[in-house]
Amino acid sequence: MSDTITIIDEDKVIDVVLIAGRILLESGAETYRVEDTMTRIAANYGLDDTYSFVTSTAIIFSLNDRTNTRLVRIRERTTDLEKIALTNSLSRKISNNQLDIDEAKSELIHLHHASLQFSSITKFFAAAIACGFFLFMFGGGINDFFFAIIAGAGAFLTFDFVQRYIQIKFFSEFLSAAVVIMIASMFTKLGMAENQDIITIAGVMPLVPGILITNAIRDLMAGELIAGMSRGVEAALTAFAIGAGVAIVLLIF
């Protein structure tokens, strides 16, 4: 690889670096891992003196000895481990000089626009059945298994519907938790279910921000204080939304 890099190539490298970082961050990767991947890709293509700053909602990438600085705004975040794995695989190929800059950019753009999520029906059944087995983890009986599945299914449908039209995660989680407690309370009062509390806990488990909490702790341990605290606050808001949804319904009914 040449020791000098043209302005055109420089822009291409920055494009590749930012696309890779965006895929990782939008897919739920830790911020320190995003920064490390961006730095390694840039160095492999000849940009050694670079600076990257990543938070939960933005990526800033700069060449320290030049005026070329880019910012990417991150508005949507989800959990997509397959995209993270594929991006890491592409990063390793770049490190091994198996991809030139144009090939890397093309593959990353394709990956960014690819939809690798499971279908809504698959996620619906997975969430519902998982809630049924969460019931057993918390000491519930076989008689409440079916009602935990119904509660989990109701929570998933509510979250998916509200998120599609309102796109405010707090309200989606709040209403989903409210639906869970309403279903659990209804079946318990009808005498069909036995343990309202355990059905409720099992039903809200898919809403619990486990990955957010884990990433917040890992970012804090890696010294990424801003990112770690922002993820921690996001996890706390999710927990508050779940608790508030359950508590308000219990107060009303």
In a domain, 184, yes or no: yes
In a domain, 1, yes or no: no
The total of structural domains in the chain comes to 2
Evaluate if residue 1 carries a pLDDT over 50. Answer: no
144 and 99 share a domain? no
pLDDT in tens, 35-70: 999 999 999 998 888 999 998 889 999 987 667 889
79 and 167 share a domain? no
pLDDT in tens, 199-250: 999 999 999 988 889 989 988 998 888 888 988 999 999 999 999 999 999 9
Mean pLDDT of 92-99: 91
C-beta neighbour count of 97 within 10 angstroms: 10
Evaluate if residue 3 carries a pLDDT over 50. Answer: no
174 and 233 share a domain? yes
Q: How does residue 192 score in pLDDT terms, banded at 50, 70 and 90?
A: very high
In a domain, 219, yes or no: yes
d(CA 12, CA 19): 11
**3 state SS of 81:** helix
**Residue 79 confidence (pLDDT):** 86
**Residue 153 confidence (pLDDT):** 96
**Residue 23 confidence (pLDDT):** 96
- Domain boundary at 94, 113, 132, which? 113
Q: For the sheet containing 58-63, what is the strand order?
A: 50-54, 58-63, 69-73
pLDDT in tens, 97-141: 898 899 999 999 999 998 877 888 999 999 999 999 999 999 999
**Contact by Cβ (8 Å): 183, 150:** yes
81 and 185 share a domain? no
d(CA 20, CA 45): 14
- For 83, the domain range is 7-113
Mean pLDDT of 7-16: 82
Higher pLDDT, 117 or 33: 33
- Domain boundary at 90, 113, 136, which? 113
C-beta neighbour count of 11 within 10 angstroms: 12
**Contact by Cβ (8 Å): 141, 194:** yes
95 and 137 share a domain? no
User: How many CA atoms within 13 Å lie on the side-chain side of 103?
Assistant: 9
**Residue 2 confidence (pLDDT):** 44
80 and 180 share a domain? no
In a domain, 2, yes or no: no
92 and 125 share a domain? no
**Residue 11 confidence (pLDDT):** 87
In a domain, 238, yes or no: yes
95 and 133 share a domain? no
Query: Which pTM was predicted?
Result: 0.82
**Residue 211 confidence (pLDDT):** 86
129 and 82 share a domain? no
234 and 154 share a domain? yes
153 and 209 share a domain? yes
Mean pLDDT of 169-179: 95
- Domain boundary at 79, 113, 147, which? 113
Question: In whole numbers, what is the pLDDT of the chain averaged over residues?
Answer: 90
107 and 128 share a domain? no
